[in-house]
A and B are shown apart, each in its own frame.
Chain A
């Protein structure tokens, strides 16, 4: 048995369609059986509400008098794109305010517009014969715009890897605050309510399919950017009318230390056409697995610490290396439910009928990493290989002489096996000399907690270490902890005007 989209829309129109949410579906399929569920249920609604950074809106302001060809555009001091002819712009959610930085951004401008607040538009131009005006400042509200069209390049991730942090310091990431020593695990996504997880083969979700977007009816444009369904990470590009949206389902947010993002509520109604649809929409949180990634590794290829299901993540704690670690969701399950519930109401009441894709979305694609024609500088390229080190059992005075002779401010300290065991700086030596006490040997005054780098580490990562720990040198060590170089703030000068900045 199968049903057609025409039959389902017929039932929606005459008010007899049976609509359920994806959360209700697993139990219903267990109760009615697959055939029974296919017979009785016409539509399954999905929903998600979480941080979707790749979002924004096209705005059209109409022409000013005298007219201006807006080239640089700001909305409440947040810069918007000025390359769309005279009177259009695209405001991106993650663009940050020139004055308030991460506390206000494109997402806040969009939320303020939706909340019917006025926003200051500021623009400049070089002035042309047809557009003589050079500057413009005006207060605008959503109702003053001819069009305000949300268009989000990458939304509704099928699922998302969870995050933890094995380093000894707090990390501020787009996955929220990650406590040291795997002190917590954060995750995102609505699991069994996620639209794509209920249609992983993209049989029903594709171009032209009607959706719920931030409280307004919208449609799927097509596959989203970074769409990678081969690994279970499909995405969607979606659009909808900002003028009909609600603050309830659209919220600006700030991930401290990372920046601005926007919480988007998105749901897709799925027509129950056949047994394959029934099986796909019966998915449970237990069936959806992601990796817990270590965000302590500052690389594209972060190591996975273990696999975990949404059911485990949502339970509040996950076992990691024999310890119970608490979990936090970044997305809101409660609001995801509200999206699916509101959408259910829309379909039941005939406010939204369904459509099949006018063009399918590729279900097997794998997103590629960036093609990089030039390698970025590594520590090896700029480090000082003439490194002066000192033994831990040497006298402090010897260290002082070495510092003078070596014209350096940092002496890596090594043990008898030539392994790095500490570091002394000019400051440590001066302090020891100024306050003569019991300390005579280098090991009495050295700092044993040494922040180090390795030869093939990217210079940008090494710079972050210098900044984070407020230090000016990093010993470069090999796999056996032998000191093979030192990277100081001075070496960074090689980056400027050198071959790396050409």
Chain B
């Protein structure tokens, strides 16, 4: 399960992820993180059955946690199967099937958004 964790101003200095790992004993996989002086955002992956525990622990530590059920989504009526997105994606979410139709492996998506503007047909969007 993927969790989007946001740290607000002032909490950024606390080692929230490290603290959560120590408190829960769950091995958290940080897939993507942007942290600056005033705020931060990290996309983490945890085993499904421990998702609730990690989420609650981090919330207690002062972070905002959102469970991401979906990765990037594809509007098939706009997609023309060009494949521009394929080489842009850092996680190889996109590929062609045997008939050169674009295939999307949502599980791999880390919601980085790099593909959104790269799509000439505006067929890709991030979950709200």
Interface residues of A (CB under 8 A from B): 49-51, 176-177, 179, 183-186, 251, 253-256, 261, 263, 316, 325-335, 337
Decide: A328 near B84, CB < 8 A? Known: A334-B100, A334-B101, A337-B100. Answer: yes
Please name 9 further chain A to chain B contacts, defined as beta carbons within 8 Å, in addition to the given A179-B88, A332-B80, A332-B100, sorted by A numbering: A251-B121, A255-B120, A263-B82, A328-B83, A330-B120, A332-B83, A334-B81, A334-B99, A335-B81
Instruction: Give chain B residues whose Cβ lies under 8 Å from the Cβ of A325.
Output: 87
Closest chain B residue to A51, Cβ basis: B120
B117 at the binding interface (Cβ < 8 Å)? yes
Inter-subunit contact A333/B117 (CB<8 Å): no
Inter-subunit contact A327/B82 (CB<8 Å): no
Closest chain B residue to A251, Cβ basis: B80
Instruction: Give chain A residues whose Cβ lies under 8 Å from the Cβ of B121.
Output: 251, 253, 263
Interface residues of B (CB under 8 A from A): 80-88, 99-101, 117-118, 120-122
Inter-subunit contact A329/B118 (CB<8 Å): no
Inter-subunit contact B82/A254 (CB<8 Å): no
A326 contacts which of B87, B99, B118, B120 (Cβ < 8 Å)? B87
Closest chain A residue to B99, Cβ basis: A334
Chain A nearest Cβ from B87, distance in angstroms? 4
List 5 A-B pairs, Cβ < 8 Å: A50-B82, A177-B117, A183-B87, A255-B120, A329-B82
In the complex, how many residue pairs between chain A and chain B have their CB atoms under 8 Å apart?
A: 68
Closest chain B residue to A184, Cβ basis: B87
Chain A nearest Cβ from B22, distance in angstroms? 35
- Chain A interface SS verdict (over half): strand
Inter-subunit contact A186/B80 (CB<8 Å): no
CA distance A288 to B11 in the complex (A): 57
Decide: A332 near B81, CB < 8 A? Known: A177-B88, A184-B87. Answer: yes
CA distance A173 to B59 in the complex (A): 43
Chain B nearest Cβ from A414, distance in angstroms? 34
Closest chain B residue to A49, Cβ basis: B80
Instruction: Give chain B residues whose Cβ lies under 8 Å from the Cβ of A253.
Output: 120-121
Closest chain B residue to A254, Cβ basis: B120
CA distance A261 to B82 in the complex (A): 14
Chain B nearest Cβ from A100, distance in angstroms? 12
Inter-subunit contact B84/A330 (CB<8 Å): yes
Inter-subunit contact A332/B82 (CB<8 Å): yes
Instruction: Give chain B residues whose Cβ lies under 8 Å from the Cβ of A332.
Output: 80-83, 100
Closest chain A residue to B122, Cβ basis: A254
CA distance A256 to B117 in the complex (A): 6
Inter-subunit contact A328/B120 (CB<8 Å): no
A261 contacts which of B99, B100, B120, B122 (Cβ < 8 Å)? B120
CA distance A184 to B101 in the complex (A): 20
CA distance A325 to B88 in the complex (A): 11
Inter-subunit contact B87/A331 (CB<8 Å): no
Inter-subunit contact A256/B101 (CB<8 Å): no
Inter-subunit contact A333/B84 (CB<8 Å): no
CA distance A286 to B37 in the complex (A): 52
CA distance A467 to B120 in the complex (A): 25
Chain B nearest Cβ from A326, distance in angstroms? 4
The 6 closest A-B pairs by CB, nearest first: A184-B87, A253-B120, A328-B87, A326-B87, A334-B100, A334-B81
Chain A nearest Cβ from B111, distance in angstroms? 18
Inter-subunit contact B118/A177 (CB<8 Å): yes
Instruction: Give chain A residues whose Cβ lies under 8 Å from the Cβ of B117.
Output: 177, 256
Decide: A316 near B99, CB < 8 A? Known: A253-B120, A261-B120, A332-B80. Answer: no
Decide: A185 near B81, CB < 8 A? Known: A176-B120, A177-B118, A334-B101. Answer: no
Inter-subunit contact B81/A256 (CB<8 Å): no
Closest chain B residue to A316, Cβ basis: B86
Inter-subunit contact B80/A263 (CB<8 Å): yes
Chain A nearest Cβ from B75, distance in angstroms? 13
Inter-subunit contact A331/B88 (CB<8 Å): no
Chain A nearest Cβ from B90, distance in angstroms? 9
Inter-subunit contact B100/A328 (CB<8 Å): no
Closest chain A residue to B89, Cβ basis: A326
Instruction: Give chain B residues whose Cβ lies under 8 Å from the Cβ of A254.
Output: 120, 122
CA distance A251 to B82 in the complex (A): 12
Chain A nearest Cβ from B36, distance in angstroms? 17
Chain B nearest Cβ from A373, distance in angstroms? 36
Inter-subunit contact A186/B120 (CB<8 Å): no
Inter-subunit contact A331/B82 (CB<8 Å): yes
Inter-subunit contact A328/B80 (CB<8 Å): no
Instruction: Give chain A residues whose Cβ lies under 8 Å from the Cβ of B120.
Output: 51, 176, 253-255, 261, 263, 330
Chain A nearest Cβ from B95, distance in angstroms? 8
Instruction: Give chain A residues whose Cβ lies under 8 Å from the Cβ of B87.
Output: 179, 183-186, 325-328
B88 contacts which of A51, A184, A334 (Cβ < 8 Å)? A184
CA distance A328 to B99 in the complex (A): 16
Inter-subunit contact B84/A329 (CB<8 Å): yes
Instruction: Give chain A residues whose Cβ lies under 8 Å from the Cβ of B101.
Output: 334
Instruction: Give chain A residues whose Cβ lies under 8 Å from the Cβ of B83.
Output: 328-329, 332
CA distance A50 to B83 in the complex (A): 11
CA distance A316 to B100 in the complex (A): 12
Inter-subunit contact B118/A176 (CB<8 Å): yes
Inter-subunit contact B84/A186 (CB<8 Å): yes
CA distance A335 to B121 in the complex (A): 14
Find the residue from A179, A254, A327, A334 having the highest chain B CB count within 10 A: A334
Chain A nearest Cβ from B76, distance in angstroms? 12
